[in-house]
Amino acid sequence: MVARDLEDLCERAAEMVARAITDQVLARGRATIVLSGGTTPRRVYERLAIGTFQQAIPWDQVYLFWGDERCIPPDDPDSNYKMAHDTLISKVSIPKENIYRMPTERSDHQEAALEYEKTLRNFFGLAGEGWPRFDLALLGIGTDGHTASLFPGSPILSEKKQWVAAAYVEKLKVYRLTLTPSVFNHSAQVIFLAAGKEKAPVIKESFSADHRSSRFPFQEIRPHEGKLIFFLDQAACSLSPPFYEVSG
């Protein structure tokens, strides 16, 4: 879906998120949502925390998780958790026990990844084989085509067993925790959010090329039995043809 501008994109995305939550709660009694960091998701969270969204969404039946996180304390200004807490969680009536942040304050990043995977396994009741099925995952697209903490050239892009990985990002010289592509690909719905003219080159190149041969990390996210939806503003798709909802 192509929006007029960032404001229109965020409003439309918030509407879809609210609808997805409500539908899942009515159908199953709960909604499991994977949150993302980034400027555009932040604006979506701000909308969900006010007005009719804040009042109509059954927040007590919403369970929040994170797609990736920097290996920093949760109160660090750069924390994805802190951003979501300040813009959304602290402003709605979601129970504290429904919040499942990544344990990024741990010094052992590999152990932190294993701990979060254990948390997910306990929540979804999957002790052996199988994958979690989140109701909705929100993701962004970087100017280099990365999504979550899945960067170009990362070995995690081909990971088929782990749910959560400690990713070393070479160009940033830091570790991050991230869900693996297989986890995202078992989600019922994935929404990509991208805005701004700086995203136009990667959007153009990824969608004008043969989509069967992935070049950018975000192209690895193609839900097996779910929906893949792109929310772009006109600036982000200014070099490309329009995009619409894509079924997995």
- The Cα–Cα gap between 122 and 170 comes to 32
Q: What is the mean pLDDT of the chain?
A: 93
Residue 83, pLDDT score: 98
pTM of the model as a whole: 0.93
Q: Is the pLDDT of residue 210 over 70?
A: no
- The Cα–Cα gap between 131 and 115 comes to 16
- The Cα–Cα gap between 188 and 248 comes to 9
pLDDT of 4-27, one tens digit each? 999 999 999 999 999 999 999 999
- The Cα–Cα gap between 33 and 35 comes to 6
Residues with Cβ within 8 Å of residue 86, at least 6 apart in sequence: none
- Could you tell me if 219 and 242 are in contact, meaning their C-beta atoms sit under 8 angstroms apart? no
pLDDT band of 246, cuts 50, 70, 90: very low
Residue 128, pLDDT score: 82
What does the block give as tokens for 64?
């929040």
Residue 248, pLDDT score: 35
Q: Is the pLDDT of residue 243 over 70?
A: no
Residue 218, pLDDT score: 96
Residue 244, pLDDT score: 46
Residue 215, pLDDT score: 84
pLDDT of 146-166, one tens digit each? 999 999 999 999 999 999 999
Residue 116, pLDDT score: 98
Residue 247, pLDDT score: 32
Residue 214, pLDDT score: 57
Higher pLDDT: 247 or 170? It is 170
β 189-194/227-233 pair status: parallel
State the DSSP code for 101: -
